[in-house]
Structure 1
Amino acid sequence: MSCPVFLQFWWTGRARDTFLSFLPKEDLTSLRLACHDFSVRAAPMLFEDVSVTFRPSIFTKPARMAALDRIGHHVRNFEFRMPHGPETFLPPLLDPSTGEEVTFIYEPYVQPSGDSTSRLSVPTYGSWEMTDMLVKQYPPLFHAAANVPSFTRALSSVPNLKHLMVSCPGQEKDQRYRRSIVDYALISLRIAVERSKLPALDSLTLSPIHAGAVLYLNPTMGFGASPQSMRRWRQIRRLTVEMDSVPFTPFPPADHLKTLNAYLQVFAPSVKQLTFRWRGSKGLCPLTLHEEICLQGQNPMLACPRRSHIALRPLKFRKLREMEVENVIMDASQISSFISSHRRRLIEFNFEDTKLRSGNWDQALKPLTRISGSEKWKEKSEEVMDVPLVLGPVGIEQTTMDRMVKEFPFPQQRTPQPGRGWHRAGAKLLGTPDHMRRLLKSSVFTWI
């Protein structure tokens, strides 16, 4: 028995889709079991976001891949998760006869399109001897991570993908220069993105990732790169990176900061919205690394003598409209220089939790005065800074307001957080309504 009112609502596309967008995933799953029409209408909402935690059989199990083929055209946001852990650690590769450590030079095995040759008919890792050692000494998770065709097969099933999210948390600091299974998976994921037809892909989120990840995600570093690699990543218009902080002392050389600069160069011509955050301690601003002293004039004894003195290329974003960096340390002159060089495109910027090594915020934002022709932009905004204030016992008498201010002084140094408008410093008292009510009735405010 059908209800005319319900049918009228259900066949109104905008009303139906709005209703389905507010339903929890569990309800959408149950709704798909009601009838065929409900299943068809609810599927786009249910499978719009897909999250995958990488395991050995995640992209090779036939039943799972068949299901992905059925629902893949609904996927718009795809999250690839692979946390670091004991299972992702790779021990040294040893020769079984001599016990000596063997050097493994990795070259991704990429099966040519249309090639019907079995993957087992050719050595996967360069030679049969190396393949035999890797099969016997490395876990199945490694071989699944290095299986580039399986990654390509999976991403080819989501042709309407718009937003790719990569999450690789949990790397230990002492493993920063050691390659793990996570890194091999990132290489395979990057090659799969480049070899799949993803015309709608325009957003990339790396949150959180370890510092070395950008080396394996860079299409210009040689790991299975092809002429079409850069073309795929130039589609990205929104880039978000949340990276584990790395030291920026000149000894040893800051290799991770150099690879970060090279990675951001890939997106400089096309990205419109950029967000970058350091996790942990403050790090250098990734947009002005070419001006950092610690990356200039490296000691030739600690780096390649021919390349240690080569200056980093400045980042010049041609289409950048919105920018946000968080938890960084930089100079006022660097901020001023970046704003001036991007003034024709940049319309919104935010330096969140930024510490200035030299200069002040008036000097950093001086280009805004030159661009606008006056300082009226300062008057149009107001900064609200939360200042925790612990109020004393209500019963204690205080005779003057000066005494209260003396006991609970406000900070003298302003720490503006510029961004969506730069704001002047203010203060906000924190306390419960009842506590404030009793305070106002005390002898401090005798005129109330």
Structure 2
Amino acid sequence: MKNLKPENKSLLQEFKNHIANRLPFLKESRILIACSGGLDSIVLTELCDLLKLDFGIAHCNFGLRGDESDEDEKFVKSIAESVGALFLKTHFETEKYAKDHQLSIQMAARELRYNWFKDLAIEFQYDYVLTAHHSDDNLETFLINLSRGTGLEGLTGIPEVNEIFVRPLLPFSREEILNFANKQKLKWREDSSNKSTKYLRNKIRHDVIPELKGITPQFLNNFNTTLEYLQQSSQFIKSQLFRLKKDLFEPSEIDIVKISITKLREYGNPRICLYFLLKDYGFKAWNDVEQIVTAQSGKQVFSETHRLVKDREYLLLSPIVEEISDRNYKIPEEESMIMIPSGTLKFKEVAEIGPTDFKTIFVDKEKLKYPLIVRKWKEGDYFYPLGMTGKKKLSKFFKDEKLSLLAKERVWLLCSGKEIIWIINYRADNRFKITPQTKQILKITIT
């Protein structure tokens, strides 16, 4: 690295002010600079060196350009040596990783390097990882996301701070960075693949952005102003989303969220509300999500991790769980505890009846036929509700109890032969109740 040229004091001062005003924590932190050897990361390294920040340098060799990639590595190593920084490197089989994980080369490289940076931060106790994204990168990302029809989050730009990753060059343009490098007589490596327009980002960089800047010389400044407004709007929406969830999300059974359709309609635009409520749960088929509001009960929409079910005047949101409807559990007489999907069943002989609730029942052990069986309920099942005369179909019992569709799916039965002892977590059967003739009392609990 060189001594600072007088004409470059303004950019350095702006960078210094930006660190002091927006990123003061970097001055007291151990930081790792992600350095490819290109213009942007070399300038970032120079600026951090001039500010005497405590940093190391990390370089990824993706093995995509043969000798050129190896020369990049040697160059970055020489830069690290010149500033006295720890040099960390790695080699990736990027093409193989992309093929194995069905990713584009660019996405594979991104995933590989960010995972590696996180590992380095832990291993070498770095507080933050700095990348050299700048204002033009922000514009490129905005246009890419705009072309893909992304939501507001995709139009708010690259985050300046995201977990351990910090991008201190975001306020500066590529032109400012290039001018600084030339006046400082810095050397850097040119990635030949950046010239190819077969990648969308490069096509936007070389063909689209120059046209936009040619039409309006202040285009980048105007874009940054717009981006700031969008970020402020996003923050406001996030603050309102908390209130929206508080109003519309109702507590229900374990891991099920109920959304009142009546309240949802009061907001005037269910589609927009559902987008903000459900986007973090992986939903993307927004036409289907909107239509479920007026669909018949039982209609479902799935994301990769969750499902949304229409149940009368509610939408039920829950994680997708493994299908286990045909699984049975046999419990021999000597067993005192067994784990089932809804919890742990415990069996204990006691001398007298204690308090009962929906998690605890007492039965006459002599009336049981072993092995006991735990199974899911099925259509046609019936039982004799404790405290009532006569039998009742489980489907009618669930309706009377106002169980949701998802709650019914999670119901397990404890059975003696073909007879139901207990609708676990709900109601015991009258046929196994304690009577004056009972000699052995069995306490059964679910936790």
* Greater fraction of residues in strand: 2
Shorter-chain TM-score range: under 0.3
Q: Which has the higher contact order (CA 8 A, sep 6+)?
A: 2
Q: TM-score, normalised by structure 1?
A: 0.25
TM-score, scaled relative to structure 2:
0.25
CA radius of gyration, larger in: 2
Relative to its length, the structure with more helix (as a share) is: 2
